[in-house]
Amino acid sequence: MSRAFLEIGRAALAKRPVEERLGDWREVERDLPAPELQAQASRCMDCGIPFCHAGCPLGNHVPDWNEALAAGRTEGAVERLHSTNNFPEITGRICPAPCEDACVLGLHGAPVTIRQVEKQLGDAALAQGLQAHPPRQESGRTVAIVGSGPAGLAAAQQLRRAGHAVTVFERHDRPGGLLRYGIPDFKLDRAVLDQRLDQLRAEGVVFRCGVSVGDDVTLDALRSDHDAVLLAVGAWHPRELPLPGRDLPGVHPALDYLVQANRRVAGLPVDDPIDVRGETVLVLGGGDTGADCLGTALRDGAARVLHWHYKPPPPTERGAEQPWPFPPALLRPSSSHEEGGERGWSVVAKAFVGDDRVKAIRCVDVSWEGGSMRELPETEREVLVDRVLLAVGFVGADAPWLDAAAAHADVWVCGDARVGASLVVTAIHEGRRAAREIDARLTGRARLAVLPDGPTLRAAP
């Protein structure tokens, strides 16, 4: 067992100064110097039972690549990391790291900086030039994948490396799904995504963008032209907030705003731009999407940004009701919260107020007792706002034809379209599992490894 954790503390996450990063869209987080990263990897205890495996949906072999990096074997660490994770340079940027919550070292101290090591190992592979791994032998089978988010991309890479001809259909003009159009550039530089896409193309994956299944091509046509179809269409459909005044101009689903922002940064055209410059913006919803809206609005020149959640703030430390090694629901401010804005808790919206457009929001403070919400008397009020962004979650795939897929044994569903909006590591894991099942169906034997096991991903019973 390594004992470096007794002498080396956890390094603080390095970030660019707030005043600097608010002036651009470049990534907020910085890298650790190579010697310090190696020292951080050496803090791994090489546990007899490494619970970080269970904390990660991908079952990443964290102690293995930490040990390799600590010993100076960077190439070996990179290889071990990629054995379970197709896109570590992406998960190392945007995953909330449940593996760190499950780290044994975190029981009595600060856990290993798993996510930071993962990111920089992934970046090391990018810097060395990602090697394409085309199949040694073609299977003669074809697979259509609908959706090019992390689930679809992971499945595409696995299936192509197994020798199948893979075509990915994407309704947007560029591949990547939410990785391209749902996550701000200050969290994920699109050049990182594009390097991975180049690797997939070099391996033989074909991308057909601007093709909407259900409009431009039918599911039956895909089934007719391919031996298997995988639906990895994500969970883009936003949860609504059906309050009086919801239809007023100036009230938008959060993803509409984030997609526009990503397109503008990429120099792409935007229809009906949402311009928040000089405005008071209210973001409703306390999750990652809401935080992304906050950071984006600040960079877009909003005069004031309010970020409200209807529940009270979660605890700052793990309690008995959140036992290890399960990820606790803790208060973890994002980088956007460090940059500004006004956070509000236990505030419930009751109506959007205005004539020709939204001018204010009627709201009330609430208390929570035993899971029940109670409005506090004499707290109802109207707060002046110029714009409202609804970041209250997602309810499923924006594909009304999806339910019909369950009637076909040659159609699979994976990712957010199957399990609901979740983590990027969950999406990658779903894609890898789907690829294993499809490959087994097409070849008659299971050849693709994936951990951990779970229920079938096929839409059909």
3-state DSSP of the chain: CCCHHHCCCCCCCCECCHHHHCCCCCCCECCCCHHHHHHHHHCCCCCCCCCHHHHCCCCCCHHHHHHHHHCCCHHHHHHHHHCCCCCHHHHHHHCCCHHHHCCHHHHCCCCCCHHHHHHHHHHHHHHCCCCCCCCCCCCCCEEEEECCCHHHHHHHHHHHHCCCEEEEEECCCCCCCHHHHCCCCCCCCHHHHHHHHHHHHHHCCEEEECCCECCCECHHHHHHHCCEEEECCCCCEECCCCCCCCCCCCEEEHHHHHHHHHHHHCCCCCCCCCCCCCCEEEEECCCHHHHHHHHHHHHCCCCEEEEECCCCCCCCCCCCCCCCCCCCCCCCCCHHHHHCCEEECCEEEEEEEECCCEEEEEEEEEEEECCEEEECCCCCEEEECCEEEECCCEEECCCCCHHHHHHCCCEEECCHHHHCCCCHHHHHHHHHHHHHHHHHHHHCCCCCCCCCCCCCCECCC
Determine phi and psi for 278, rounding to 5 degrees: 75, 5
Task: Identify whether the C-beta of residue 251 lies closer than 8 Å to the C-beta of residue 245.
Answer: yes
Sorted by sequence, the CB contacts under 8 Å of residue 48 that are 6+ apart come out as none
Torsion of CA 31, 34, 39, 41, to 10 degrees: 70
Sorted by sequence, the CB contacts under 8 Å of residue 99 that are 6+ apart come out as 52, 53, 55, 56, 60, 62, 114, 115
User: In the chain, where does the domain assigned CATH 3.50.50.60 lie?
Assistant: 142-236+396-443, 240-392
The dihedral through the CA atoms of 349, 350, 355, 360 has a sign that is negative
Residue whose C-alpha is closest to residue 397's, from 190, 149, 217: 149
Torsion of CA 210, 212, 216, 220, to 10 degrees: 140
Task: Identify whether the C-beta of residue 236 lies closer than 8 Å to the C-beta of residue 265.
Answer: no
Torsion of CA 450, 451, 455, 458, to 10 degrees: -20
CA distance 100 to 85: 16
Q: How far is CA 58 from CA 52, 146, 214, in A?
A: 10, 22, 32
Sorted by sequence, the CB contacts under 8 Å of residue 12 that are 6+ apart come out as none
CA distance 365 to 345: 8
Please report, in tens digits, the pLDDT of each residue of the chain (461 residues total): 568 888 999 999 999 999 999 999 999 999 999 999 999 999 999 888 899 988 899 999 999 999 999 999 999 999 999 999 999 999 999 999 999 999 999 988 899 999 999 999 999 999 988 888 999 999 999 999 999 999 999 999 999 999 999 999 999 999 999 999 999 999 999 999 999 999 999 999 999 999 999 899 999 999 999 999 999 999 999 999 999 999 999 999 999 999 999 999 999 999 999 999 999 999 999 999 999 999 999 999 999 999 999 999 999 888 888 888 888 888 889 999 999 999 999 999 999 999 999 999 999 999 999 889 999 999 999 999 999 999 999 998 877 778 778 789 999 999 999 999 999 999 999 999 999 999 999 999 878 866 544 333 333 32
CA distance 231 to 416: 10
User: In the chain, where does the domain assigned CATH 1.10.1060.10 lie?
Assistant: 4-127
Task: Identify whether the C-beta of residue 433 lies closer than 8 Å to the C-beta of residue 159.
Answer: no
Which tokens is 340 given? 């500004």
CA distance 213 to 110: 47
Supply the pLDDT for residue 79.
93
CA distance 359 to 382: 10
Give me the CATH topology for the region 240-392: FAD/NAD(P)-binding domain (3.50.50)
Determine phi and psi for 368, rounding to 5 degrees: -120, 125
CA distance 357 to 355: 5
CATH of 142-236+396-443, one of 3.80.30.20, 3.40.50.300, 3.40.50.920, 3.50.50.60: 3.50.50.60
CA geometry: angle 324, 329, 330, nearest 5 deg:
100
Q: 283 - beta bridge partners?
A: 307, 389
Supply the pLDDT for residue 461.
26
Q: Which residue is it, tokens 């991908």?
A: 58
What CATH superfamily classification does 4-127 receive?
Alpha-helical ferredoxin (1.10.1060.10)
Task: Identify whether the C-beta of residue 291 lies closer than 8 Å to the C-beta of residue 337.
Answer: yes
pTM of the model: 0.94
Supply the pLDDT for residue 1.
56
